[in-house]
Amino acid sequence: MAVDSGHNSAAGVETPAGGSNPLASDPELLNDFILESREHLTTIELQLLTLDQDPGNAEAIHAVFRGFHTIKGMAGFLDLDAVRDVSHEVETILDLARNSQLAITPAVIDGILESKDYLGRWMGALESMLAGGQAPEGLDNQALVAAIRGLAQPADGTGLTPAEECAPPSPGPTETVAPPEAPATSGLLELAREVAAPPPEAAEAAPSVSAEALETPKAAEPSQLTARSIKVDTGKLDYLVDMVGEMVIAQSLVRHDPDLASSMKPRLARNLSQLARITDEVQRTAMSMRMIPIGQLFQKTARLVRDLSRKASKQVDLELAGEDTELDRNIVEELADPLMHMVRNAVDHGIETPEERAQAGKAPTARVLLKAGHQAGHIVIQISDDGRGLDQEKILRKAREKGLIEPDAQLSEGEIFNLIFHPGFSTADKITDVSGRGVGMDVVRKHVQKLRGRIEVQSTPGQGTTIVMKLPLTLAIIDGLVVAVGSQRYIVPLFAVREMLKPAEDAISTIRGQQEMAMVRGTLLPLIRLHRRFQIQPRFEKPWESLLIVSESGGRQFCLMVDELIGKQEVVIKSLGESMQNIPGVAGGAILGDGLVGLILDLEGIFGAGGSGHPGSGL
């Protein structure tokens, strides 16, 4: 689209609802523009980080150019002048780089990243406008446009063409620059053309649209027009998954109906088995629709590592592995903050300066690894660095000073490292804006536990630290053990179960007349009576007549006393409603095969409420 590079509105902000263009106020069109632009901005940032490591990568330059080029064309078509102008100026810079007239330097990358951030803020402002009808404000682009133009001004006076001289004249359409493999706009402009088509008698009076905005590929064969993917509102997807869950429950109720079981014929049994197989397949397919690659989350950390390492004058290489590992979309969204915090801590506090690394005999460039993969039905995410590691003695000293543990407490390595998850805990000698490896880690643990996951810390002084998060594949379904206590049934999440046993009488003891303990494989573990926690009448009062389930919570193991094990079952998690959502020890409910509701246990809440966790456990 031809624009005047010197043209800017007074404030650099335009209201899309204004002007004579009817498309500028079309909510559906603007929403498509926001979605597509954000996809391009994600690709732009990833390619810019590639250029930061390899400034001569021509394909990365072309990819960034294509992204800004597409956003510019769509923004101009929708009368979003501020977005169009910034995109156009960046496009000019990238065109110079494509033609070897401008070197890609860190300053150029910083300027383009700043432009990408500005466009991202614009997308957020447009979303707010669509939601509340408020026009975007406070997004002046004049200073940014001037800064981008300055990138094309050579500091050595060699006479490179400045950006404003490369801009096509205005007004009037010009010949479109055709970058290779220009990405399709997913039907946005085609939709716009249908909406914009004026009646024949109004054709002459209709506002002109540039050739660039309306540029489309050559006519394709009918077979090529078949869509391979579509965009679906996440609300509809979540509703579909909920309904599939209801279907699974209904199928289970039919299959276990006592009236049906009493007169089950072979043919009916075969049909029910076939229905069960189809239902399971539909459920797996519906759940897979919610799955997205974790690489989208990993890529966001690349920008963080770059910015932090430059600010701290450190040399850090970020390595990614397992980016194609898929997990539930809701889990990815919840993991964004914890992952960013742990990567920030690794770069800020775990990695040494190049001078310190040289003194320790290490390579000046540090390494941070983000890795994801599947393990025993779970997703395992690993954040590793080769920095200074955690100092166990310093952690213990700080914990004793804060009264978190008894002065003579003897803790295992795992329990010592778990102290960093205590709220407000820090080993920093000096309080700063980010005061140490423990700051905010309690928030990280809460996020992970909210996702029904576990977090473990491994560290070797002088060699580095590894944090491992184990998470379920989805938040909608859980594998659990159905147990009975009295007349009630509960579901114990299988990921937190280590083993089950029937203890001997001499394996049960009491400490100080209060806390019951069970000896399991040579280790004393706290014993929690589930019937006392929920105040119900059990069938067995004596632990050696009951069943003990060895479970893990917050890095510590304990025994959960129940009457009997009914079986293992995959259940669909149901919310108990707002009035019952904060009950300690209860994570939700599930409808069992006989139609009755079983409570899903929150072992973290049960262990903490049982009074078994010492302060060192962080509970």
Q: What is the DSSP string of 521-576?
A: TTEEEEEEEHHHHHT---S--SGGGSEEEEEEETTEEEEEEESEEEEEEEEE-B--
Please state, in angstroms and rounded to a whole number, the distance separating the CA atoms of residues 87 and 64: 11
> Tell me, what's the pLDDT at 466?
92
Main-chain phi, psi angles of 511, to 5 degrees: -100, 125
> Tell me, what's the pLDDT at 424?
67
The CATH code of the domain at 292-472 is 3.30.565.10
The residue type of 324 is: D
Torsional sign, CA 123, 126, 131, 135? positive
Give the Å distances, CA to CA, from 383 to 314, 316, 345, 370, 439: 18, 14, 11, 5, 17
Would you give the DSSP letter of residue 76? H
> Tell me, what's the pLDDT at 308?
84
* Number of neighbouring beta carbons within 10 Å of residue 46: 18
Please state, in angstroms and rounded to a whole number, the distance separating the CA atoms of residues 426 and 392: 13
Torsional sign, CA 6, 12, 16, 17? negative
| Contacts of residue 419, Cβ cutoff 8 Å, sequence gap at least 6 | 395, 396, 399, 404, 405, 411, 425, 438, 616, 618
Give pLDDT < 50 ranges for the chain.
1-20, 155-227, 431-439, 610-619
Under DSSP, is residue 517 helix (H, G, I), strand (E, B) or coil? strand
325: left (phi over 0), alpha (psi -120 to 50) or beta: beta
> Tell me, what's the pLDDT at 369?
92
Listed in sequence order, the DSSP H helices in 346-440 are 354-359, 392-401, 413-418
> Tell me, what's the pLDDT at 371?
92
> Tell me, what's the pLDDT at 532?
87
> Tell me, what's the pLDDT at 487?
87
> Tell me, what's the pLDDT at 23?
54
Under DSSP, is residue 500 helix (H, G, I), strand (E, B) or coil? strand
* Closest C-alpha among 516, 499, 528, 519 to residue 601: 528
Q: Judge residue 263's burial from the number of C-beta atoms within 10 Å of its C-beta, 0-12 exposed, 13-18 middle, 19 or more buried.
A: exposed
Any idea where the domains of the chain sit in the sequence? 22-215, 234-289, 292-472, 477-617
Q: Answer whether CATH 3.40.50.2300 is correct for domain 477-617.
A: no
> Tell me, what's the pLDDT at 10?
34
Listed in sequence order, the DSSP H helices in 312-429 are 329-345, 354-359, 392-401, 413-418
Q: What is the pTM of this model?
A: 0.60
CB 318 within 8 A of CB 301: yes
β-pair type (564-572, 477-485): antiparallel
* Number of neighbouring beta carbons within 10 Å of residue 278: 11
> Tell me, what's the pLDDT at 443?
77
* Closest C-alpha among 58, 59, 162 to residue 100: 58
Q: Answer whether CATH 1.10.3720.10 is correct for domain 22-215.
A: no
Bridge partners (DSSP) of residue 382 are 371, 468
Bridge partners (DSSP) of residue 384 are 369, 466
Please state, in angstroms and rounded to a whole number, the distance separating the CA atoms of residues 476 and 452: 11
The two tokens of residue 186 are 């997913």
> Tell me, what's the pLDDT at 562?
92
Distance of CA 356 to the CA centre of its chain: 33
